[in-house]
Amino acid sequence: MSDSRDWALPPELRPDPTTLAYDLGAALSALVLLRAEIPEDAFTAGMLGTERLGHGALVTVGGRTLVLTIGYLVTEASTIWLTSHSGRVVPGHALAYDYASGFGLVLPLGTLDGTPLELATQLPEPGDELVAAGHGGIAHALACRLVARREFAGYWEYLLDDALFTVPALPQWSGSALLGSDGTLVGIGSLLTQASVRGDGTPGDPDDTLQANMFVPVTAVAARLQVLADSGSTGLPPRPWLGVYATEEDGDVQVAGLVARGPAHAAGVSLGDLVRAVGGLPVASLPAFYRALWSQGAAGVAFALRVERGGEPLDLRVKSVARESFLKQPQRH
């Protein structure tokens, strides 16, 4: 991702502050630029890089001003720098990464000017007009529309029940803020993807496919923010993790990648295997795969994994681990 000063949205794509029911300038003051440095020997360095750049939003948790961002920007970070809307730069400390939702929390180690955003308690509906924005003021704010709310399954053992999809797409989306019609924080930017919409950009039967952003809704983590800020974890047992990168096509869940020395790799799972059952529960989609996996118990649980290889069924015994055990953890202060 390039420096936020190197780009600007055309004026016609920006929101018109005079048509909004809230103070857009105050809302945009909550957006910070986030730079993170990750050790070269970190587990995620090869996939996500050792230098990460994105955004975050100031929020208030238990009386403290923290930065809510997307977790992949700060996971395993050794150094974090935060830049406020006025250009003030302070170091930051990674407090937590909620693996279930994908959110990250950062503690500013200095004062950041800006008005923290309130978290939305209700999510918008498809067709609602919203604002997607990153650090940098109105030039980096985009008038957009919610075109879908639906389940999202990521190949990295990740599942959201109610992800938000918006068009047009914000070009610098990582950690960006999705603002509701009342100026509350609705979601945090995670991905650039595609969405099928009508030619006029409204949801419905697809006539066209457009670039879209996927936002993680704040409702996925709101109830856990205080515990995350205080302890760095949700307090819940970690989910079982296999170290599998999987894809889905026509009801087949195929192993497309394996984490070296991960549980699935150690159990004998191979690239190209089709996952047919987890603990006796049938698998016909990525969501079904993940839900069957997580229903087995907490991380560390062992269970039967049935795969199909070369047209033949193969039963394997897998002992899961916590994903966190492969990652460098933030130091608690």
pLDDT at 1 over 50: no
Among 15, 21, 34, 5, smallest CA distance to 189 is for 34
Do 105 and 141 belong to one domain?
Answer: no
Average pLDDT, stretch 155-178? 97
Judged by average pLDDT, the poorest of 108-112, 148-152, 158-162, 198-202 is 198-202
Do 255 and 314 belong to one domain?
Answer: yes
Percent of the chain with pLDDT over 90: 89
Question: Domain boundary at 165, 184, 219, which?
Answer: 219
Q: What's the pLDDT band for 196 if we cut at 50, 70, 90?
A: confident
Q: Rounded to an integer, what distance in angstroms lies between the CA atom of residue 297 and that of residue 312?
A: 28
Kindly state the helix (H) or strand (E) to which residue 266 belongs, with its residue range: helix 263-267
pLDDT at 169 over 80: yes
What's the Rg (C-alpha) of the chain?
20
Average pLDDT, stretch 187-205? 74
Tens of pLDDT along 293-328? 999 999 999 999 999 999 999 999 999 999 999 998
Show the CA angle centred on residue 179, arms to residues 85 and 167, nearest 5°: 110
Residues 153/248, Cβ–Cβ less than 8 Å: yes
Judged by average pLDDT, the poorest of 55-64, 159-168, 205-214, 218-227 is 205-214
Kindly state the helix (H) or strand (E) to which residue 54 belongs, with its residue range: strand 51-61
Q: Rounded to an integer, what distance in angstroms lies between the CA atom of residue 218 and that of residue 300?
A: 29
With respect to residue 331, please indicate whether it lies within any of the assigned structural domains: no
Residues 191/173, Cβ–Cβ less than 8 Å: yes
Question: Domain boundary at 231, 266, 290, which?
Answer: 231
Average pLDDT, stretch 149-175? 97
Residues 142/166, Cβ–Cβ less than 8 Å: no
What confidence score (pLDDT) does residue 235 get? 83
Q: How many domains does the chain have?
A: 3
Residues 98/221, Cβ–Cβ less than 8 Å: yes
Do 267 and 320 belong to one domain?
Answer: yes
Residues 329/314, Cβ–Cβ less than 8 Å: no
Do 214 and 137 belong to one domain?
Answer: yes
Q: Rounded to an integer, what distance in angstroms lies between the CA atom of residue 106 and that of residue 64?
A: 11
What is the extent of the structural domain holding 290? 244-326
What confidence score (pLDDT) does residue 177 get? 98
Note if the bond before 168 is cis, omega within 30 degrees: yes
